[in-house]
Structure 1
Amino acid sequence: MPIAAHYVLTVLIWGLTWTAIRLQVEAASVDLAVFYRFAMAAATALAVLAVVRRLPRLSPHQHGLLVLQGLTLYSVNFLLIYRAAETMTSGLLAVVFSLAALFNAFNGWLLMRLVPNRRIYPAVALGVSGVALLFWHDLNLGNATLPAILFALGGTFWFSFGNLISLRVRAADVPLLAGNAWAMFYGALILGTWCLIQGVDWHLPASDSFWGATVFLAIPGSIVAFYSYLTVIRTLGADRAGYATVLFPVVALSVSTWLEGFEWTVTAIIGAALALLGNYVLFRKPSQVPAAKAKGPV
């Protein structure tokens, strides 16, 4: 599959997960909802890979890296972001999370000495401004406490850190599908342990919408989307891949237009246009300047 298709697939699926997450947490606590998502994702991925015999034996070092990936991409980051969502409007949360591309560029330089793409800064400036305009009404409402803002920033940073861990996993020659399956398994173990520590009331929700949302979040939203997203990271780098976090709020609001009657204001339209313009700035190919023709003797 072309890398552009992986990028578009990531944006589309994660744009749809916003609605699924809302349906899921209406029927269960945040901690339990996230646990069910990754427990189902890990069980499905490991079972399928075992059946088709694509589950290789990995070394303790490789498993150690996958524990870190599970800790950063498939557990703690979600707990922090969902904690923020309890007291912060979804719009402000989307603005904070859209900083992931900038976090990826900074952390990549700080921790791995990766030189960021020079287009990332104008692209992120356009993208974050666009997301802010998309959710301008939410931002005017405020309703964000300092702990909520810190949770949102922490979750975004932790997600960014997981993006860089995925590059370490690639360098350790871990197959992507098998690595994701094991990392989600470790993430589910971490989430299950956290639920036990928190004394969560373990129960199986009876709501059909909960299980429909959980299946969508586990399989397309986790197995497929993270496979595509990490493929983009491995090909284009964490900084450019992170721009997907700017675009999926645009998809989410497009879905909301259909399902919930979201009305597009002039501000929202300008915001969506800025987010798309940032994507163009980041990925457009440099113009080819034709070489000057050599002049013959006069």
Structure 2
Amino acid sequence: MSTRDDAGQRRAWLAGLALAIAGAVFFSAKAVIAKLLYREGIDAVTLIALRMLLSLPVFLAVAAWTWRRQPRLGARDLGRIALLGLLGYYLSSMLDFLGLQYVSAGLERLILFLTPSFVLLIGLFALGRGVSRRQWLSLGFAYAGIVLVFWHDVNLGGPRVALGSALVAGAAISYAIYLLLSGELIARVGSLRLVALAMTVSTAACLLQYALLRPLPGLFAQTLPVWRLSLLNASLCTVLPVFLTMISVGRIGAGPSAQAGMIGPVSTLFLAWWLLGEPVTPLQLAGTGLVMAGMLLLSLRQAGR
């Protein structure tokens, strides 16, 4: 292989890595945008309904495009996709946004970052899968880091931090179950098609929830700042990172893309400091470092290194 070919492959790999990093940063900014929306006086039910409503046109277009290009799905597959959409996008997102009312953006991102560890633990206790010594070490690092950041937030925010942390942990566990259940379906249906259909189901659930809890016309009677922030939440923090991450996985693989996602908690910490005025303390940095070290150990193990 020529030097020119090597250079071209390296540029392609670096481009894929840049896409994965950008996807992680944009997706992590969701917590900061949500905090700004809460300052505008809306609640979690309204926030998630607006986010999904504004994302819906893109996912409907992708669903229609994949529907025409790929084989038709049977009733059983459609039912499983609907279940996964309710579990992995509706329930997980709802618990996450509810929790964000009580915890800092930095702590929220760190708890969600533990999703791979929840996959590991669910596999151990529910499916009887083994856990290696290195994986236990990674869990030790990660959960020690969470304890540090949690302790920091409790001292600042009081007992409501425990409720918020539990809600966000519920979101991470819900998404971990989604990942465990979706593996075989992704291989058969395709990740792009699955995400588009599951997000469409999730949008329907979010809008139905709003209609049951609030007068539906009220959803459209929001202030201009709420619409602006919601549009950012839907476009830059929902649709864009989904596609950036999928493209990066296609270019450099799932392992490197997942490791690039480790920039997420760090970017959230500093975005929250910049835009929300949340403090960045040595205790937070230490906890963040421990969580990232634990997840790096886990990802290297899963990559077979």
Same fold? TM cut 0.5:
yes
Whether contact under 8 Å (1:17, 1:221) holds in the other structure is yes
**Amino acid paired to 1:43:** P
CA shift in 2, pair 1:92/1:280, >3 Å? closer
Larger CA Rg, structure 1 vs 2: 1
Structure 1 unaligned blocks of 5 or more = 287-298
Once the two structures are superposed, residues 94-115 of structure 1 have per-residue CA deviations (whole angstroms, 9 ceiling, x without a partner) of 5543432221112234555655
Superposed counterparts of 1:57-206, under 5 Å: 57-88=72-103, 90=105, 93-94=108-109, 96-110=111-125, 119-134=134-149, 136-141=151-156, 142-144=158-160, 148=164, 150-171=166-187, 173-200=188-215, 202-206=218-222
2:28 aligns to what? Answer: 15
Aligned partners of 1:83, 1:223: CA distance in 2, in Å? Answer: 21
Measure, in 1, the Cα distance between the counterparts of 2:225 and 2:167.
27
- 1:28 is aligned, of 42, 66, 71, to 42
Indicate which of 245, 253, 273 corresponds to 2:269: 253
Q: How many residue pairs get matched?
A: 285
SS at match of 1:203: helix
- Residue deviations 1:162-200 (CA, integer Å, cap 9, x gap): 1223213214x1122222111111001111222222235
CA gap 1:65/1:230 in 2 versus in 1, 3 angstroms: farther
Cα displacement (A) at 1:120: 3.6
> 1:264-275 to 2 correspondence within 5 Å?
264-275=280-291
CA spacing shift, 1:90–1:76, aligned 2, 3 Å: same
TM-score by length of 2: 0.73
AA aligned to 2:154 is L
**Scaled by the length of structure 1, what TM-score is found?**
0.75
What amino acid is aligned across from residue 30 of structure 2 in structure 1? T
Match of 1:39?
53
**Distance across 2 between alignment mates of 1:117 and 1:179:** 31
More divergent stretch after superposition (275-284 vs 230-239): 230-239
**Secondary structure of the structure 2 residue equivalent to 1:58:** coil
Q: CA distance change for structure 1 residues 105 and 285 in 2, over 3 Å: closer, same or farther?
A: closer
Change (3 A) 1:181 1:284: closer
> How far has the Cα of 1:263 moved from its partner?
4.6
Per-residue CA deviation, residues 247-267 of structure 1 (Å, 9 max, x unaligned), is 533211111333345553332
Query: Which residue identity lines up with residue 86 of structure 2 in the other structure?
Result: L
1:3-57 per-position Cα deviation (integer Å, ceiling 9, x unaligned)? 7556534431222111111233435331122122123223212225646986543
8 Å Cα contact 1:31-1:195 kept in structure 2 = yes
Deviations 1:92-151 (A, max 9, x none): 545543432221112234555655676443223323333443464312233237765553
Q: In 2, are the aligned partners of 1:42 and 1:181 still within 8 Å (CA)? A: no
From the superposition, tell whether residues 155 and 3 of structure 1 become closer, same or farther in structure 2 (CA, over 3 Å): same
Structure 2 residue identity aligned to 1:212 = R
Is residue 20–residue 261 contact of structure 2 (8 Å, CA) maintained in 1? no
Q: Which residue of 2 aligns with 1:295?
A: none
Q: What's the C-alpha RMSD, in Å, of the aligned pairs?
A: 4.0
Q: Which has the higher helix share?
A: 2
1:63 aligned partner, one-letter code: L
Gap change, CA 1:239 and 1:119, over 3 Å in 2: farther
Cα distance, 1:109–1:65 mapped onto 2, change above 3 Å: farther
Query: 1:6, 1:228 within 8 Å by CA — same for their partners in 2?
Result: yes
2-structure distance, mates of 1:124, 1:246: 15
Deviation at 1:80, TM superposition (A): 2.0
Q: Any idea what SS the aligned residue of 1:28 has? A: coil
